[in-house]
Amino acid sequence: MKQYYVVLRSVLRSRPHLRRGLSRCRHCRIFFLTHPRNAGRRDLRCPFGCREAYRKRRSTERSVAYYATAEGKTKKKMQNGKRVRGGVGADANPPVPEAQQFPAGMVGYVAMVASLIEGRRVSETEILQMLAWAMRQHSMARRRRMDYVVAQLHKHGP
């Protein structure tokens, strides 16, 4: 958290024009950068979970409201029937393997902030590639550390 604010502060110091987009989550009060088109809005939620949680809650509310209607009740009955007969839906939407590792909306947010900072369009694909690279570096470093420990153990005995 402290690290996050250090980064945010240094970004704002080096890119003062981004200050306009500094926003505060109405739910958890964390500061975050938002797209300039949202500058000045005070009703935003942060991309670190609050926005997603709110979106999910809204969609649950909507479907609860929908299934309370007569049309919804009929549809639900049909769906339940289908589920008993053949388990439709379980594999209808196979997950995207890479993006799945990160919280929803996070990659898009990082891409947006990276675009603002670099002054060019950074795509989500680029961010995913960068993250994959960073994770590979991380595990390589860990492996090197492990090799070192093992080598030391061999040298000096257990």
Report the residue number, 50 or 106, with the smaller CB distance to Zn ion.
50
Residue 27 near Zn ion by CB under 5 A: yes
d(CA 52, CA 65): 20
Segment interacting with Zn ion, rule: CB under 5 A, options 41-49, 59-67, 91-99, 142-150 = 41-49
33 makes contact with Zn ion (CB under 5 A): no
Lookup: tokens for 117 = 């900072």
Residue 24 sits in the site that holds Zn ion (CB under 5 A):
no
Residues 6 or more apart whose Cβ sits within 8 Å of residue 16: none
Between 13 and 58, CB nearer to Zn ion: 58
Q: Strand 31-33 to strand 22-24: parallel, antiparallel, or no bridges (unpaired)?
A: antiparallel
Q: Are 43 and 34 in contact (CB under 8 A)?
A: no
Residue 96 has what DSSP assignment?
P
CB nearer Zn ion, residue 32 or residue 128: 32
Among 28, 64, 78, 141, binds Zn ion (CB under 5 A): 28
Residue 111 and residue 124 in contact, taking contact as beta carbons nearer than 8 Å: yes
Sequence-ordered strand ranges (E) for the chain: 22-24, 31-33
Q: Contact with Zn ion (CB under 5 A): which of 21, 33, 34, 50?
A: 50
Q: Which is nearer to Zn ion, 51 or 128 (CB)?
A: 51
Does the footprint of Zn ion cover residue 46 (CB under 5 A)? yes
Note the residues at the interface with Zn ion (CB under 5 A).
Answer: 25, 27-28, 46, 50
